[in-house]
Amino acid sequence: MRLFIAGATLLALSSIGFAQEAKTQVKKATIEYTNPASGVEMFTTYCAVCHGNDGKGTGPAASALKKAPADLTLLTKKNKGKFPRLEIQAMIKGDTAPAAHGSRDMPMWGDIFRSVSKSPELVDLRVRNLRDYLESIQQK
Ligand code: HEC
């Protein structure tokens, strides 16, 4: 499985057609193995390029996406003070499309994780640990 991850010049999803306009370079990279037990390692490796190391949505690839990556530290605030565990889990895995207008710049991680971890249990473990990591970075 190919994925859109690299250093500071990475950009994602050339198929949606911003590749020519974007100043940032589109670069696809093969997905890197990470420890399924480490939410922070997975977040830094897979998510920070769009969502930023701090989760606030300002990663190096963010400016070239059609839709700004969500600020992932506000999930609890936006949900009346309760972290929406199940929704976030489904969102990460790719079972749920994002609410607004069907833009899907956010990769479907369930499929991607299946290419690095063969067992469904490990795929779910990755999703759950990412969810828990996100819960840990919520603004009060
Ligand atoms: C290619 C850029 C990109 C990468 C990489 C990426 N995301 Fe996203 N993500 C987005 C965008 C864009 C949105 C907003 C989606 C929309 O509403 O269309 C989003 C939305 C989300 C949401 C929903 C937030 C909300 O308010 O409902 C969650 C949760 C999320 N991302 C988690 C992750 C996690 C965890 C990873 C790493 C495993 C990740 N994202 C990697 C681009 C990305």
Q: Model-level pTM? A: 0.82
Please say whether the beta carbons of 37 and 129 come within 8 A: yes
The residue contributing the CA closest to ligand 1 atom 27 is 98
Give 62-73 pLDDT, tens digit per residue: 888 888 899 999
pLDDT class of 22 with cuts at 50, 70, 90: very low
In this structure, what token pair is assigned to residue 44?
């830094």
Res. 14: pLDDT tops 50 = no
Q: Across-strand partners of 29?
A: 3
Q: Which residue has the tokens 């600020």?
A: 71
Domains of the chain: 2-136 (1.10.760)
Please choose from 51, 85, 117, 134 the residue to mutate so as to test ligand 1's pocket, defined by most ligand atoms within 8 A of CB. Answer: 51
**Within 10 A of 81 (CB to CB), how many other CB atoms are there?**
9
Whether ligand 1 lies within 6 angstroms of the CB of 47 is answered as: yes
Query: What pLDDT shows up at residue 30?
Result: 77
Res. 100: pLDDT tops 90 = no
CA–CA gap between residue 68 and residue 3 (Å, rounded): 19
Whether ligand 1 lies within 6 angstroms of the CB of 3 is answered as: no
CA–CA gap between residue 77 and residue 58 (Å, rounded): 19
Res. 11: pLDDT tops 80 = no
Whether ligand 1 lies within 6 angstroms of the CB of 123 is answered as: no
Per-residue pLDDT, averaged over 35-54, amounts to 96
Whether ligand 1 lies within 6 angstroms of the CB of 11 is answered as: no
Report the chain's mean pLDDT, rounded to a whole number. Answer: 80
CA–CA gap between residue 56 and residue 40 (Å, rounded): 15
| Residue 45 main-chain phi, psi, to 5 deg | -75, -40
